[in-house]
Chains A and B, each alone.
Chain A
Amino acid sequence: MDASGLGWWGVLIAVFGGAIRVSTPFLFVSLGECLTERSGRINLGLEGILVMGAMSGYGVAYLSGSPWLGVLVAGLAGLLLGTLHGAVCSLPRVNDIAVGIGLMLLGTGFAFYLGKPFVQPKAPTLPALHLGDWASSAQVQSALQVNVLFIVGVVLAFAMHWAFRNTRWGLVVRMVGDSSDAARAMGYSVNRVRILATAAGGFLAGVGGSFLSLYYPGSWNEGLSSGQGLMAVALVIFARWQPLNCFYAALLFGGAGALGPALQSVGITGGYYLFSAAPYVLTLAIMIATCSPRRNLAGAPGELSVTR
């Protein structure tokens, strides 16, 4: 083991490693929300889906011994909750922001309830690719230990970016999100597309949640999420609904989250509470900078209620 601390290099490495580690749930959740919002619906219940995904993934991984099965089941749980959100919102006169808040409550409640027996046991964790083994320092090695889900997320971001532009389904989703009248005129059922998009978004959010419990921090308990679901929604707005920007923004947020502990480990200890607020302040600042009351946000789906 490396005998010397790296000082300020250590901070940089920690931020970099943290950016990869902590950003993966943000990445998945924001990609899922991106899909949902592109179809014209906003799903604030991602926080609940994230927690439910974390719990179900952990539970199934523990009971079955396979972390990948856990990831799959987490995704399915997210799919179910996303379908619920989509279905309730497709009823006329129902406010989708309110339903999102309700889903947050429901998802969290179910997760805590069903997750009680899983707080203690230790479930198998997801494997990581050791991309840093060329480095001599253990710290760099560890920072470059990239989880497979992160790779999947990056590929997914590129895939979504391509799909929105070049496939028929991408076009359908965008059309439903920009103008439901046009979609109806083309013969597509607006509600069905939105429900499917929300369900798929829920699937991705559930997978993101499973990352928290099956890799980093790798444990299930009731304090696991601290608003990551909500931040992902803000992330999508910041990313102007572009999947690739979601990826970069997720990295940014992951790094911001890792900054506080990294600074403390080199002795900068003042105001650690303020550091813990850093990701939220960053999100708020980004939203202030990028939103505008007059123009519709460039790139915003026309039907999205958050920008109307």
Chain B
Amino acid sequence: MAESSAAPTPEGRSGRRGRSVRDASERGEDQTDALGRRSVELSEFYQGKIETVPKVPVRSLEDFSLWYTPGVAAVSRTIQADADRSFDLTGRWNTIAIVTDGSRVLGLGDIGPQAAMPVMEGKALLFKCLGGVDAIPIPIQVGSPDQFIATVEAMAPAFGGINLEDIASPKCFGILEELTQRLPIPVWHDDQLGTAAATVAGLLNALELTHRSMRGIRTVLLGAGAANLVTARLLLALGHDPHRLSLVDQRGILTAERNDVDELMLRNPWKYRLALQTNGGGRSGDLADAVREADVLLAASTPKPDTVRPEHIRAMAPGPIVFALANPVPEIWPDVARSAGAAIVATGRSDFPNQVNNSLVFPAVFRGVLDARARSIPDEVVLVAARELARGAARKGLTPHHLLPTMEEPEVFPEMAAAVADATVRLGIARERLSHEEFLDLAVRRMGRPARLARALARAHLTSPMPPARSKGRSPR
């Protein structure tokens, strides 16, 4: 989930630079503080964001002999005879675990599992509201990646999928790979796959708009964390020339010759592999060396303005594509990037056009893999989701300010879910092989249900309206 929670800052969009940019950043911080205070207040009021609710009638205590013992024993025996029946006879088909060790939560760092809980609850709310998925937040206290893996493996029988969340890089790569291999259900790490898929979707449309093709472009990825390492892998899978792809981290351009490459071999084999594969053009140096004549800059680094400077953009090929995805402060403000010649700019923020956000991806991906009862989410499926997201924006008309659908274009997401489900059927990893129309129908109904549910609960006064703000200072909501 994007870390951005800053409300609109008109100055950020204005043509005035320097002072206005500083204002935007300061106002952004003020807004973030105000939202934070309000969020604490509301958490005190509601004491949690989700609860479990029965979905079967309970007319009298006698009904429990059906929902529970003795009747339920027969259901257990049925599943004992055929484990996959657990998807038909229990809520497993629509239930996932959101698992974190709290080692890299938002921009907060290693705050531990208890402190990660509010974020995981928020994610569960998003899963329900956007994807119709029942998601259980499970922050766990573990001492090692192996213990993490063993714990998730142990809980997998209850779930139709696993969403890994906010785990530090590079251990997140090993954990995802190992769990994907071991578990018979889809495992997803949003910080790797969700962000990468949204980035690729935006890039596909940006290439379309600027009449470029994946095979011909030179691309620089700034930041070599969870998201960009996967973005690089996906771009290569889409036919990007590895010799025209450079990764840049704090030490500069990632090359096979760099002194820390042997250390990477031991500590971060995923980055090591890209060090050997990419940048065959033999460039070395820093970002300024990397961006010369580049068509695309995908920055997913630390949130700090001026990480990317106007001269970097000016050194790129004419009409470059610039994604500045750090949150809440992008590596370069959009108006600054555009003034320096960027043809298309995207950020991770909702108050600028072209928000690259994993919320555009994970609800539909999970809706799709859960409806197909898929066994995994290979990269082919991630790319289908990215392509479908790109297509969703294109259906409304592509412009430099409309690269990606926004959350206000919900019609895109059931289509995406159905495309994901279709892909798992094609790849032979679906337990439920339905037609596109059937998957689409399921997705529309299942993604639409939570809104109806929320309205009904509110009408019946089973959920409370938001209490008025009592904190001092401006309240944004």
A binds B: no
| Chain B interface residues toward A at CB < 8 A | none
